Amino acid sequence: MIARLASYIAALTGWRRSGAAFLAGALAALAMAPFDFAPVLAVSFPVAIWLLDGIANGSSSLPRSLLAAARLGWWYGFGFFLAGLWWIGNAFLVDADQFAWLLPFAVLMLPAGLAFFMAAAFALARLAWSRGTARILAFAAAVFATEWLRGHIFTGFPWNLFGYALAAEIHLAQILSIIGIYGLTLLALVLFSTPVALERPGGWRWPVLAIVVLAATAVFGAWRLDQHPTRFFDGVQMRIMQPDVPQDAKFNPAMRNEILAKYLALSRQPTPDGAEGMAKVTHLIWPESAFPFLVAQDDEALKVLGDLVAPKAVLLTGAGRAEENLDDETWRFYNSLHVINATGTIIGNYDKVHLVPFGEYLPYQSFLESIGLQQLTEQRGGFTPGPGLRTLDVPDAPPVGVLICYEAIFSGEVVDPANRPSWLLNVTNDAWFGMTPGPYQHFVEVRARSVEEGLPLVRAGNDGISAVIDPVGRIVASLPLGVSGVLNSRLPEALPPTVFARAGSTIIAILFLLATIGAILAAWRARKSA
């Protein structure tokens, strides 16, 4: 039966082939949060391989065959990214009168552009294509390579890597501490492609082997979790404030007093034991871009914030920051985090490094602004990236590595290598995307950074998901999406640097070489025995 199905899929041509690729890609999106149904990949990947069989077994010349494979990959990628990223369009409805007309372009053009990475993967796989199980490795190595490229070139966009289908399960996620999310992506590609082998007699061994590998990975995860119970730093009592302010109000200067009053009231909520809200708090944390004004230039607001945390706490809050360029008397604007003490003094700053294209800056800024376009944040000229990742010293707490929103999705790029922090702080504002899959996907990716690095992670979101995560990915405390409230928690202790933290890039290079060599050797053996 599987053999007949494989032959039927391979024989598809024209729009039926493209449509099948699109549907297989869209199906794969169900493996991502909030659905987290990884088994769909065991259908999606084999369908893609059988469709590639139809191209490889055809009579076309190699150049035509490569073009057909690229076209097939594009349709697969378009289905996957459209089904997985449609929620980005919600951001264009925040200021609907100004940006709603761009919604269909955003919803379609981003997936269409990202699909070219999958087009390259399918064409690359076609170059090494062979019969039998060898093509599983060819497919996995090619997609792995282009997924890494997607995460790095043109500033990178490593969202919804296939490894996140496994990383959502905490036991399977522990392998991130060794191979990282790209290594887990390669593992997922190989394991979920093995049902292809069922087309031949005796092929059941490969899916069974895949199940054994997954089980071994889970056993390793259970062992690692058992070896590292959650431990806490002494003397650090955090309070995370999640205001759930609507996005259309968050950047409205007219809402200044109302928003600030809400933040203050929430922050002062009594603790569960009935004590005064800020009495035991040592570190108050507010989310990204908390203010519709530049707090660093507002002495009155700084005094209010100092009074809030006095006498012994500090506030860590997202905020916009402006800095005058003395050379040309222009102003640069940064998406930042301020550390504010009990005197209302800003004693530390971090400026976001990885800015969001079209959200915080426009590629080819001058040209696009000249024709009337601007980024969603409506900051004329866009934001300026910070000088680099930096570990901040915070009073009465271990050194912290700050990640503002989008920055937390970049595997291996979340820690200052010259000054490793003892915890990570992610302030974010996912309110742009409402109650859609986007914030859930973001949370899974942030959590993966914690496991990769062996560092606890504290997350403050405007509308959620706010959480405290220990260094093996356990959720110590959390607030769900779309609620207003505060979260009290102690700060988990860090682990020693993981294998991935020490040698991540080397491990990825080794995995790619092994996958490529394996694909080549398997193809050579298959052709030799033909």
Question: What's residue 28's pLDDT?
Answer: 98
Task: Please name the helix (run of DSSP H) or strand (run of DSSP E) that holds residue 121, with its range, or none.
Answer: helix 103-127
Q: How far apart are CA 159 and CA 404, in angstroms?
A: 16
Which DSSP category does 243 fall into? -
Radius of gyration over alpha carbons of the chain, in Å? 25
pLDDT at 368: 47
Across the chain, which has 530 residues, the per-10-residue mean pLDDT values are 90 95 98 97 98 84 90 98 90 58 76 96 90 87 96 92 98 98 97 94 91 98 98 95 82 85 91 66 93 90 93 93 74 92 95 80 52 49 82 96 95 94 95 86 97 98 95 97 94 98 92 84 69
pLDDT at 371: 44
- The structure tokens listed for 499 are 């294998």
Q: What is the pLDDT of residue 300?
A: 93
Whether the Cβ atoms of residue 181 and residue 162 lie closer than 8 Å to each other: no
Among 507, 492, 477, smallest CA distance to 411 is for 507
The set of catalytic residues is 288, 352, 405
Supply the pLDDT for residue 408. 95
Give the pTM: 0.93
**Strand 485-492, strand 232-242: pairing:** antiparallel
pLDDT of residue 367: 46
Instruction: Please give the structure tokens belonging to residue 77.
Output: 């990628």
